[in-house]
């Protein structure tokens, strides 16, 4: 087999396939929510976990990740006026919760989150979720009938 000139051999070696480095995150990534209902459920679970101090993030960080800046400001004002947690709409942490789809329109969907408390009481909190981004843009008590 004939020997290749040194310059040609070096060029062929440098053209070899290069495998890029794979970056592995230190913390496994959580699966992204794919529906408004799943997004509200994920937000509430992570927020509750943060409030209970079994968290990866603070409650403020969880809110900043899932909520619009405008909603965050309104929730801060609600907490100040009501002396309660603005997401739970209470001074304590719900024992359990469930979500249900309520309807869609104008690019948003409404998800009702039912909080259940230790004494057997429950409370509905209505969440408005942007259908394009899945960002929660509103959160309120039961709308007036």
pLDDT one-digit tens code per residue, 33-63: 789 999 999 999 999 999 998 668 899 999 9
Residue 53: predicted pLDDT: 83
Residue 143: predicted pLDDT: 56
Over 60: is that where the pLDDT of 30 sits? no
d(CA 51, CA 14): 54
Domain that holds residue 57: 34-141
> Is residue 24 in some structural domain?
no
d(CA 24, CA 22): 6
pTM: 0.75
> Is residue 49 in some structural domain?
yes
d(CA 103, CA 62): 25
d(CA 17, CA 14): 8
Over 90: is that where the pLDDT of 32 sits? no
**Number of domains observed in the structure of the chain:** 1
pLDDT-based confidence at residue 23 (cuts at 50, 70, 90): very low
CATH number of the domain residue 121 falls in: 3.10.450.50
């Amino acid at each position: 087999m004939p020997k290749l000139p040194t310059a040609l051999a070096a060029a062929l070696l440098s053209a070899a396939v290069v495998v890029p480095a794979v970056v592995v995150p230190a913390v496994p990534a959580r699966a992204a929510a794919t529906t408004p209902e799943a997004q509200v459920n994920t937000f509430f679970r992570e927020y509750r976990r943060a409030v209970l101090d079994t968290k990866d993030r603070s409650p403020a960080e969880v809110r900043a990740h899932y909520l619009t800046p405008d909603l965050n400001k309104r929730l801060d004002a609600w907490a100040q006026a009501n002396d309660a947690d603005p997401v739970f709409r209470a001074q304590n942490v719900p024992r359990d919760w469930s979500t249900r789809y309520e309807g869609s329109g104008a690019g948003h969907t409404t998800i009702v989150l039912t909080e259940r408390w230790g004494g057997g009481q429950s409370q509905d909190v209505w969440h408005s979720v942007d259908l394009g981004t899945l960002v929660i843009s509103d959160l309120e008590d039961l709308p007036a009938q």
